[in-house]
Amino acid sequence: MKVDRRAFVKLIAGGIGGTLLSPLPWKLADDSAIWSQNWSWRPSPERGEATMVNTVCQLCPGGCGIRVRLINGKRAVRLDGNPNNPLNQGGICPLGATGLQYHYGISRIESPLKQKGTRGEVKTLEPITWDEAVALLAAKLKSLRAQPQGLVCLSGKQNGTVSEFFSRFLEAYGSPNYLTMPAAAQAESLGVFLSQGVRTPLSYDFENARMILSFGADLIEGWGAPCRMMSAFRLWRSKSGSQKTRLVQIETRGSLTASQADEWLAVAPGTEAALALGLAHVIVREKIYDRAFVDNYTHGFDDWTDSQGRRHQGFKSMLLEEYTPARVAEITGVQQEKIVELARNFALTKPALAVSGRGQGKMDGSLYEFLAVLSLNALVGSVHRPGGVSWAVTPPLAPWPKVVQDSTSRNGLRSERLDGSGGPDLPLGGHLLYNFLENVPKGKPYPTKMLWVYEANPAHDLADVNLFVKALEKIDTVVSFSSFMDETTVMADLILPAPTFLERFEDVSGDRGLQYAYFGLSRPVLQPRFECRHPGDVLIKLAKMLGGSVAASFPWDNYEEALQARIQGLAAAPSGRVADEPGLQPWSHLGERLAPNYGSADELWEMLQEHGCWYDTSQSMPSLSSAFKTPSGKFEFYCQALKEAGVTGSDSTYLPHYQPADLPGGKEEYPYLLMPYEVMIIENGPLANQPFMTKMLFDFELKGRDSFVEINPKTAKEVGLREGDRVELTTAIGSVKVRLHLTESARPGVIFIPLGLGHSAFDRYIRGKGANANEVLAVLQEPLTGLASWWGTPVKISRA
């Protein structure tokens, strides 16, 4: 018997048939899908017991309570909102949700670095030990001590005890040059000071208002404390009938806030103040303003005579003469009937509030625009009333001992500030970063010897971004206190890596806008991954090495001790609680006293670490009769404080008014207007989009390495361009290459460019995505205040 070829084929065929009818091939095919998951080199999440710990996010100043899911107590695998936190109510934003990628990402700095070659060159940054780094810096500071004002610190944080540590160090050392990055809180604090006599940002009782008029503030796209605003939005939308909250968005671009608002008014660029005054005109003309408030608690509403017998124009007659609906309609492009209708709605819906601060509020803003919007609140009596605006509420932290000064520091502090703030030309004060950048290259009024940058990224985040880079050329030493290799850190001579938000203690008091006192404690839930040190500890060490009064100003062993000392103030306050249960709604209890749920400062410290935050509702709004610290003791429409500060001019100088912006570049050469915008899924702050966040962008926002600008189809047709076309945008500042996305939400004639993209530093997963708008945006400075904004730059567009 011979097994021939045929028979063999039959054997094989039978084998195949049998195999196909057995589970073998199917099971193998199925299993191969998960086979690759156990390859030894494939990263796999650590297994072990999962626990949840609470802390507070520090990725933005929003102050959200977060929960970290830990495996075996040491590997964080997820960040979530903490439902017990009254501010974010369990919510988390995209930046927070992807925050672990910062902690575990590869752009972290692993040890102190010293630039041994040319500034900006990453390859020549050499690792040094902490002892070397601190000794180096201490030696430099000692050699500069005779002229201490040459030390400048730029902080990316507007408040918090670490920022205070930096300004304290400068004060003890003898430099008046502590600066912060731009923020809308600047115009706000100044406006509140001029109209009410107290220099503070405002709080907005959004949760209790029934109508909200937003002048360009992108309330649900990252304005103020972003997650607080999201939960306020949910609250507005959950109400019905007479309780319903109406949101009216006044903004040139059809933003997310505009699309979610009950009404969107697309005003002509930069004319928000004119519209506010137009609304005020109607409210005054129709006598629907809050008589009781205006008559009893305001100054400068009617025409008036000063102590020298001079007549002055009041707010009312200025409004009636200059801001008629017809004229305002012409300026803003909003129909007259609409202006009248909106004004009536705003005045008759109670309580209602108006808010300003473009985008997320990361520009200084304009004093007069802020005053115009604030005057609307005053007209309807929404100042220091529930559902309106009041002053920022600060937690009652215990003060640190006073800074000890010696003659060097006293002399240094007497010198003029490098940004000219408080000087003869800019008597109103503030942090005028752009003036500083202009003065540095001129060495005026004196040279800048050393710049410290703390968690700020001016080399990417400032409009007209080359101003910063140019200024650096004239600064001898640049020191960066950052956790990441950002654009600014790359340019530093000495890099002192900070632990990330999951590795260190820090307090977050919430960003502007909250109407109750809030104190969030961020704590180290993870061991530091690298050789990083808390900036607070570094400052203490430096102070001790400098000795004398500087050392005496930092009497603590470490930052934690200094922070604990301040908590004593919370513990001693008669009212306040640690938020330890879900669903807290402090805004429903404003003015009420809260029985503390801790017995001592130690217990409070423990509870803060366990739960994350403390809050208090008892600090009620000031009483109207004693609130205002102005020359008249009232809310001043006519800001006499401006006169006292030495500002001269006609009556309108002292009243809220509208000035058309003086945009750089001629209309003929640059026929269109370029306006920046901010969205939550593109981080526009000291950090950069991590891959998880970038993934959420649509491919008409970012495709490969190209970012897009928004343009109206009509405008695109005018220049013969289509969806997706590659173009070059050129302004008086520079040019960038982008692609076009055609959308009706863009106003004809205006091109909208997102802020936050186009990083050149960090790591290979982050850099090279899109264009940095700051390379083409020009800075507009308000002449009187020196406050900066960059909401519009004339631009031309050509095919690239």
- Residues 6+ away with beta carbon under 8 Å from 335: 329
Nearer to ligand SF4, 323 or 518 (CB): 518
Work out how close the CB of 92 gets to ligand SF4 at its nearest, in angstroms, rounded to a whole number.
5
Site string for other proteins, 664-703 (x = CB under 8 A): ----------------------------------------
| Residue 756 interacts with which of other proteins, ligand SF4, none, CB < 5 to 8 Å by class | none
Tell whether the torsion through CA atoms of 577, 57, 396 and 197 is positive or negative.
negative
Burial of 170 (0-12, 13-18, 19+ CB in 10 A): buried
Q: Which stretch binds other proteins (CB under 8 A): 2-10, 136-144, 593-601, 751-759?
A: 2-10
Vertex 431: Cα angle to 777 and 680 (nearest 5)? 50
| Residue 60 interacts with which of other proteins, ligand SF4, none, CB < 5 to 8 Å by class | ligand SF4
* DSSP per-residue codes, 746-788: SPTTEEEEESS----SS-TTTTT-S--GGGTPPPEE-TTT--E
Nearer to ligand SF4, 60 or 372 (CB): 60
Work out how close the CB of 771 gets to ligand SF4 at its nearest, in angstroms, rounded to a whole number.
24
Count of residues touching other proteins (by CB under 8 A): 36
Residue identified by tokens 């190209």 is 706
Vertex 779: Cα angle to 773 and 781 (nearest 5)? 160
Work out how close the CB of 235 gets to ligand SF4 at its nearest, in angstroms, rounded to a whole number.
17
Nearer to other proteins, 91 or 112 (CB): 91
3-state secondary structure of 385: coil
358, two tokens: 């473009």
Work out how close the CB of 27 gets to other proteins at its nearest, in angstroms, rounded to a whole number.
7
Nearer to other proteins, 61 or 96 (CB): 96
Residue identified by tokens 């003060």 is 399
Nearer to ligand SF4, 420 or 524 (CB): 524
- Residues 6+ away with beta carbon under 8 Å from 209: 245, 351, 352, 353, 387, 388
The binding site for ligand SF4 (CB under 6 A) comprises 57, 59-60, 62-64, 88, 92-93, 95-96, 226-227
Work out how close the CB of 45 gets to other proteins at its nearest, in angstroms, rounded to a whole number.
7
Work out how close the CB of 459 gets to other proteins at its nearest, in angstroms, rounded to a whole number.
36
Work out how close the CB of 32 gets to other proteins at its nearest, in angstroms, rounded to a whole number.
7
Work out how close the CB of 547 gets to ligand SF4 at its nearest, in angstroms, rounded to a whole number.
38
Nearer to ligand SF4, 221 or 651 (CB): 221
Work out how close the CB of 80 gets to ligand SF4 at its nearest, in angstroms, rounded to a whole number.
10
483, two tokens: 């956790």
Among 2, 123, 310, 402, binds other proteins (CB under 8 A): 2
Nearer to ligand SF4, 216 or 226 (CB): 226
| Residue 224 interacts with which of ligand SF4, other proteins, none, CB < 5 to 8 Å by class | none
Separation CA 359–CA 265 (nearest Å): 15
End-to-end CA distance of the chain: 80
Work out how close the CB of 569 gets to ligand SF4 at its nearest, in angstroms, rounded to a whole number.
23
| Residue 402 interacts with which of other proteins, ligand SF4, none, CB < 5 to 8 Å by class | none
By CB under 8 A, residue 4 contacts other proteins: yes
Residue identified by tokens 């529930």 is 386
Among 41, 46, 50, 509, binds other proteins (CB under 8 A): 50
Nearer to ligand SF4, 405 or 694 (CB): 694
Work out how close the CB of 510 gets to ligand SF4 at its nearest, in angstroms, rounded to a whole number.
9
Distances 139 to 142, 287, 534, 550 between C-alpha atoms, Å: 5, 67, 20, 14
Separation CA 406–CA 172 (nearest Å): 8
Nearer to other proteins, 11 or 146 (CB): 11
751, two tokens: 């091109």
Work out how close the CB of 62 gets to ligand SF4 at its nearest, in angstroms, rounded to a whole number.
3
By CB under 8 A, residue 41 contacts other proteins: no
CA-based nearest residue to 170, from 549, 469, 559, 441: 549
Nearer to ligand SF4, 95 or 380 (CB): 95
Q: Which stretch binds other proteins (CB under 8 A): 46-54, 459-467, 593-601, 691-699?
A: 46-54
CA-based nearest residue to 56, from 458, 521, 470: 521
Nearer to other proteins, 21 or 595 (CB): 21
Among 46, 52, 106, 476, binds other proteins (CB under 8 A): 52
* DSSP per-residue codes, 135-158: HHHHHHHHHHTTSGGGEEEEES-S
- Residues 6+ away with beta carbon under 8 Å from 362: 181, 182, 183, 184, 461, 678, 684, 685
Q: Are 108 and 119 in contact (CB under 8 A)?
A: no
| Residue 52 interacts with which of other proteins, ligand SF4, none, CB < 5 to 8 Å by class | other proteins
- Residues 6+ away with beta carbon under 8 Å from 241: none
Among 41, 46, 49, 611, binds other proteins (CB under 8 A): 49
Work out how close the CB of 18 gets to other proteins at its nearest, in angstroms, rounded to a whole number.
3
Site string for other proteins, 5-34 (x = CB under 8 A): -xxxxxxxxxxxxxx-xxxx--xx-xxx-x
450, containing H or E segment: strand 450-454
Q: Are 522 and 498 in contact (CB under 8 A)?
A: no
Residues near other proteins (CB under 8 A) are 1-4, 6-19, 21-24, 27-28, 30-32, 34-35, 37-38, 44-45, 49-50, 52
